[in-house]
């Protein structure tokens, strides 16, 4: 048997043909469908707002829903929802993942702006005799509403959830909480300041912590 090696870079004398199974798998391969962030943003926003409208038919809007302060607070919540949804789904130019610098600070600043608008709309400083009962109900309603856009974002982001970690989770939670706050602003007529801060503001803040922690855990 010859011990001589073929010259460097020379092709092997013979290669086995690919197996039929490998050929079949190669034929079945298709290009990976990439995300379309702007379209996903529109779909998630429309589905979330449609679900909110359906919920309000069950919860019934407050009687003073057309008051100027209520309308302004609702607009602030709606703008916060769309803006944070943009941050969550649409990557910055030149990037693949929707990661924003100082994501936590951004979300908290938007939450403070929403809370300010909610407090201005609900300015009754009198003591709320049913504070705990009404606060629990609003926290539940707001958090349940927030689950709708959060679940849709999970579907839209797919693998980006594991790669982005808590920063994407915080922004998703901010958008989800803004929709929950919008639902409460249109539904709940309790204008006591303590109720608005704890229940309505809490319903907007709670999803931020929940989804930031959940996305960080999913990244492990």
pLDDT tens-digit series, residues 183-208: 998 888 887 888 888 899 999 999 99
pTM for the model: 0.78
pLDDT higher than 90, residue 62: no
- How large is the average pLDDT for residues 58-66? 72
- How large is the average pLDDT for residues 121-145? 76
pLDDT higher than 90, residue 101: no
SS3 letters for the chain?
CCCCCCCCCCCCCCCCCCCHHHHHHHHHCCCCCCCCHHHHHHHHHHHHHHHHHHHHHHHCCCCCCCCHHHHHHHHHHHHHHHHHHHHHHCCCCCCCCCCCCCHHHHHHHHHHHHHHHHHHHCCECCCCCCHHHHHHHHHHHHHHHHHHHHHHHHHHHCCHHHHHCHHHHHHHHHHHHHHHHHHHHHHCCCCEHHHHHHHHHHHHHHHHHHHHHHHHHHHC
């Amino acid at each position: 048997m010859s011990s001589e090696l073929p010259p460097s870079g020379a092709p092997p004398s013979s290669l086995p043909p690919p197996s039929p199974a490998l050929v079949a798998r190669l034929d079945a391969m298709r290009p990976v469908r990439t995300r379309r962030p702007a379209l996903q943003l529109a779909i998630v926003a429309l589905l979330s707002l449609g679900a909110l409208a359906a919920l309000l038919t069950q919860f019934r809007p407050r009687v003073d829903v057309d008051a100027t302060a209520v309308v302004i607070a609702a607009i602030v919540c709606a703008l916060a929802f769309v803006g944070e949804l943009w941050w969550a789904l649409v990557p910055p130019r030149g990037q693949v993942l929707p990661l924003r610098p100082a994501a936590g600070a951004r979300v908290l600043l938007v939450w403070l702006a929403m809370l300010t608008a909610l407090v201005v709309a609900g300015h009754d400083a009198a003591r709320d005799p049913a504070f705990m009962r009404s606060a629990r109900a609003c926290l539940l309603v707001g958090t349940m509403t927030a689950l709708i856009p959060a679940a849709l974002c999970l579907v839209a982001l797919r693998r980006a959830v594991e790669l982005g970690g808590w920063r994407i989770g915080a922004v998703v939670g901010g958008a989800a909480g803004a929709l929950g706050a919008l639902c409460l602003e249109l539904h709940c007529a309790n204008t006591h300041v303590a109720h608005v801060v704890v229940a309505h503001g809490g319903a907007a803040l709670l999803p931020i912590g929940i989804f930031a922690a959940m996305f960080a855990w999913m990244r492990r």
